[in-house]
Chain A
């Protein structure tokens, strides 16, 4: 058990614990704050995986935009005088069963994979992943079309969100 493995287990426990609190908190603002902790934990894993740019994007986009947007939506849709209702719907026991069975079967199937214990290959120091990513996103031989489609999707989502949330008088 090396230091990095212990660090991994600590970070994974923190992330999963925060994720459990996200899905079980009665107070939605608390759930959103735990969601921020969980998303930050995932960013830590991106750093361990040598994907520093994505870790930064995770913090900026997920924590800086999505989580804050959720907090605003929670504040906009909250009734002040509300009788406390159950957090879960009536099928929560089935949901728990499905989640546990799915986790068990995924672990079981992954265990049969021969490279399950593979360790990461050494990175070639002459290759800069960030430069590679930037080139791949704009080069016609690689991913320029999905990249442009993603920007179109974001524009459509922006206009759609404004239209849907517009208060018509």
Chain B
């Protein structure tokens, strides 16, 4: 049997890799990929707590389903924004999109 520690450490590592991608990458789409990795790590945590703490209740799985929906919405809007920015500025590099900086 796998102890819950395996899942939690795995999810923490996946979250931190995603966090590094979000903080360090220059391309905005790569930042979005980092966010996807972080959301996946959260989902692994939700499902493992569901399985190990309350398998008779379904709440953990419902939360994970809502996270799926939010992730899909976020990617759709994010990619639309990047395509629009690319059309106007010719780049999706996060440090060159500085319209709101003064």
Instruction: Identify the A interface with B (CB < 8 A).
Output: 2, 4-5, 8-9, 12, 15-16, 19-20, 22-23, 28, 31-32, 35, 38-39, 42, 45-46, 48-51, 53-54, 57-58, 61-62, 65-66, 69-70, 72-74, 76-77, 79, 85-89, 91-92, 94-96, 98-100, 102-103, 106-107, 110, 115-121, 123-124, 127, 129, 132-133, 136-137, 142-143, 146-147, 150-151, 153-154, 156-158, 160-162, 164-165, 167
Identify A98's interface contact among B3, B19, B64, B73, CB under 8 A.
B19
With the chains together, A22 CA to B77 CA distance in Å?
A: 21
* CB-defined contacts of B13 to chain A, threshold 8 Å: 16, 103
Q: A136-B58, A137-B62 are in contact. Are A117 and B71 (CB under 8 A)?
A: no
18 contacts between A and B (CB under 8 A): A12-B6, A22-B34, A23-B20, A23-B21, A31-B33, A46-B44, A49-B50, A50-B51, A70-B32, A89-B94, A98-B23, A106-B16, A110-B12, A119-B52, A120-B55, A150-B69, A150-B70, A157-B74
* CB-defined contacts of B16 to chain A, threshold 8 Å: 99-100, 102-103, 106
Q: Is the CB of B18 within 8 A of A19?
A: yes
Given known contacts A49-B7, A164-B84, what 5 new A-B pairs fall within 8 Å (CB)? A23-B21, A89-B95, A96-B24, A120-B2, A164-B77
Which residue of chain A has its CB nearest to the CB of B94?
A89
B98 within 8 Å of A by Cβ? no
Instruction: Identify the B interface with A (CB < 8 A).
Output: 1-10, 12-21, 23-27, 29-30, 32-34, 36-37, 40, 43-44, 47-48, 50-52, 55-56, 58-59, 61-62, 64-66, 68-77, 79-84, 86-87, 90-95
With the chains together, A88 CA to B30 CA distance in Å?
A: 10
Identify B82's interface contact among A4, A58, A77, A118, CB under 8 A.
A77
* CB-defined contacts of A19 to chain B, threshold 8 Å: 14, 17-18, 37
* CB-defined contacts of B61 to chain A, threshold 8 Å: 51, 53-54, 129, 133
With the chains together, A43 CA to B34 CA distance in Å?
A: 17
